[in-house]
Structure 1
Amino acid sequence: MPDLSRLAAPILGLAAFLVAECSADAADAPAGTSAPDKSGYTLFNPTPDALMRAFEPERPAKASNPFTVDAGHFQIETDLFNYTHTNSLDAGNQFYETADPTLKLGVTNWMDVEVNFNAYQNSLTHSNLTGALLANGHGFGDTIFKVKVNAFGNDGGAVALGFIPYIKVPSAAPGLGNGVVEGGLIAPLQINLPQDFSLVLQTEFDALKDANDSRRHANFVNLASLTHPLSFISKDLSVTVEFYSAVGTDSATPAVYTFDAGLAYLITPNLQLDVGANFGLTKASPDVNVYTGVSARF
């Protein structure tokens, strides 16, 4: 297993350097640029449209972001189609999903609640030696509940931090899920860099079921995600590239490392289309995952 401390140290060091640099830039910024006071807006007293923050879907790629949905507003983000191919020495798996909507509702100016429904899925596993079907599952997947809390940077500034506790409820059809409750905590840090670059450094802790028994193990996710608009094509088109790692303490659950890339196009200020692909960097990682999706805010 890779040494997690060696992975975390450069990420944390980079984050500290960038936060310091961005804080210095903010200190030199002209006065009078403070964000309006939106603390009084709630689910039952919605934020006026004129005061809503810029539309910030978490799609594409895997990174979350620290920004909550404005109080009293609703957001949906979903795959339209998602395909993953995974190949090991003994078996190959093909996984299809037609939709996995995440519904988000702004409760206060600093918190939203979210639920992710994994809609129709189909998983097929074949033997690489004989071609025989080893496993087949189809139907609806698990359901994930989240609460996102923004610590700072929701309405401006060079740096923003969020915390996202989540719990997965087993609702999957046979052959698709492991049938147990799992959960964890996600912490995305977003840093706005010069030249319109945006960097997300994210760490995550999960409590997951072991592969071969009913015990639980710790899983650690770290990723770095960089986004930039492709202004030479369109100011509304942006590209994201990302490095992702998931390393657990269960010896029967191999680590996953991927390189991810995605394009997002903002059709209107509240509607975005995206397409992306994730590529496995190790034999234990999925070979390729391709998807397309849509995000909308109301």
Structure 2
Amino acid sequence: MMFRFGTACLLLLLPVLAATAQTGVKNDTIKVDKEQYDLFHPTPRKYMRPMVPDRPGITESPYSVDAGHFQYETDVVRLLTRRDGTTHGRDWYINHALGKIGLSNRTDLQVGLDSYTDTRNYDDADPSQNAVYRGVGDLTLRLKHTLVGDDNSRWALGLIGYATLPTGGPRGDGAVEYGAVLPVVFQITKPWNIGGQVATQVYWDRETRSRYLQLTPTFTTSYEVVKRLQVFAELVGYKDVRQSQWGSSINTGLQLAVSDNVQFDLGTHQPITNSVDHEYFFGLSFRR
């Protein structure tokens, strides 16, 4: 069933990618050559594109940060809970942040840091396995490039490559991890967008001391209910290639734009399959 879901997500994205390539949308719809701007020659504020953070869902944004400008996105607080038989646990994330700087009109550099995590794992059948971990987590370096579409164009396609460095010690994942993401978005009407992504991640398994591949296809839709208030729903698949079964979740929430440069969000990730955590979050994004 989840294999069909993953395949369906890919099939839904293929027409979007094909149509994007066929329409040949230019980089900018405004009548200014923004390729002249870079890190040291920032894009004038009157020419900046709308702010579209990579949060709050799993689906990334295909839009890069304008050249010479900074954007900050963070989980102010996020709670994850899980249970599997006699084992259960929860994580508190505090300020898991992503900072971005626009290098050019289409490309930005991103640095992510898991600022503080409190993890507690319990085993009712064997209390000696109970464990508590607290502290700063790993550091992630990312590079995003908008391949097609920008500013007010209806289509956009991006590419993100990243590597996570094991700076968190016992709190982190324990080894270098890396991956790539291909996000896409299409504006059906002025208030209604659909999108999704295909993503591959190479993770490290501490217990087996080996790497494994995970695939994460998504499909998402958002709707602007009133000016500056959006709601979204997202279907996510998780495929650990070592396993025969898919995991999945449905994610919902809202985004409130306080201004053109400040947004708040809150929502939840609810599992469809038992292998996925319950999540509840409140986040903030701003730029300058």
Normalising by structure 1, report the TM-score. Answer: 0.88
**Is the Cα contact below 8 Å between 1:65 and 1:200 reproduced in 2?**
no
Q: Provide the C-alpha distance between the structure 2 equivalents of 1:257 and 1:8, rounded to a whole number of angstroms.
A: 10
Structure 1 residues 150 and 158, CA gap change in structure 2 (3 angstroms): same
CA root-mean-square deviation: 2.4
How far the C-alpha of 1:205 sits from its partner, in A, is 0.8
2:87 is equivalent to residue 96 of structure 1: no
Secondary structure (helix, strand or coil) at the match of 1:263 reads: strand
Structure 1 residues 258 and 35, CA gap change in structure 2 (3 angstroms): farther
How far the C-alpha of 1:49 sits from its partner, in A, is 0.5
What aligned pairs does 1:40-119 form with structure 2 within 5 A after superposition?
40-119=36-115
2:204 is equivalent to residue 204 of structure 1: no
2:174 is equivalent to residue 179 of structure 1: yes
Query: Which residue among 232, 241, 247 is the counterpart of 1:240?
Result: 232
Which stretch of the first structure deviates more once superposed, 260-269 or 212-221? 212-221
Give the letter aligned to residue 249 of structure 1.
V
How far the C-alpha of 1:132 sits from its partner, in A, is 6.2
Give the letter aligned to residue 275 of structure 1.
L
How far the C-alpha of 1:129 sits from its partner, in A, is 3.6
**Is the Cα contact below 8 Å between 1:94 and 1:124 reproduced in 2?**
yes
Aligned positions, number: 285
Q: Provide the C-alpha distance between the structure 1 equivalents of 2:245 and 2:221, rounded to a whole number of angstroms.
A: 26
Secondary structure (helix, strand or coil) at the match of 1:10 reads: helix
How far the C-alpha of 1:155 sits from its partner, in A, is 2.6
What aligned pairs does 1:147-226 form with structure 2 within 5 A after superposition?
147-174=143-170, 176-194=171-189, 196-210=191-205, 212-226=207-221
Q: Provide the C-alpha distance between the structure 1 equivalents of 2:253 and 2:138, rounded to a whole number of angstroms.
A: 25
Give the letter aligned to residue 13 of structure 2.
A
Give the letter aligned to residue 275 of structure 2.
A
The C-alpha deviation readout for 1:33-60, integer Å capped at 9, x for no partner, is 6552100100001000010001111222
Structure 1 residues 40 and 210, CA gap change in structure 2 (3 angstroms): same
Normalising by structure 2, report the TM-score. Answer: 0.91
Give the letter aligned to residue 234 of structure 2.
E
**Is the Cα contact below 8 Å between 1:82 and 1:290 reproduced in 2?**
yes
Residue number in structure 1 paired with 2:259: 268
The C-alpha deviation readout for 1:214-261, integer Å capped at 9, x for no partner, is 222211010111111112xxx11110110111101224x974311101
Residue number in structure 2 paired with 1:294: 284
Runs of at least 5 residues in structure 2 that lack an aligned partner in the other structure: none
Higher-strand-fraction structure: 2
Structure 1 residues 195 and 54, CA gap change in structure 2 (3 angstroms): closer
Q: Provide the C-alpha distance between the structure 2 equivalents of 1:282 and 1:35, rounded to a whole number of angstroms.
A: 48
Q: Provide the C-alpha distance between the structure 2 equivalents of 1:188 and 1:79, rounded to a whole number of angstroms.
A: 21
**Is the Cα contact below 8 Å between 2:71 and 2:286 reproduced in 1?**
yes
Give the letter aligned to residue 184 of structure 1.
G
Residue number in structure 2 paired with 1:227: 222
Secondary structure (helix, strand or coil) at the match of 1:99 reads: strand
Residue number in structure 2 paired with 1:30: none
Give the letter aligned to residue 55 of structure 1.
M
Secondary structure (helix, strand or coil) at the match of 1:102 reads: strand
The C-alpha deviation readout for 1:165-206, integer Å capped at 9, x for no partner, is 0000011242x3231000000110111112521112101011
Runs of at least 5 residues in structure 1 that lack an aligned partner in the other structure: 28-32
- The percent identity for this pair of structures is 26
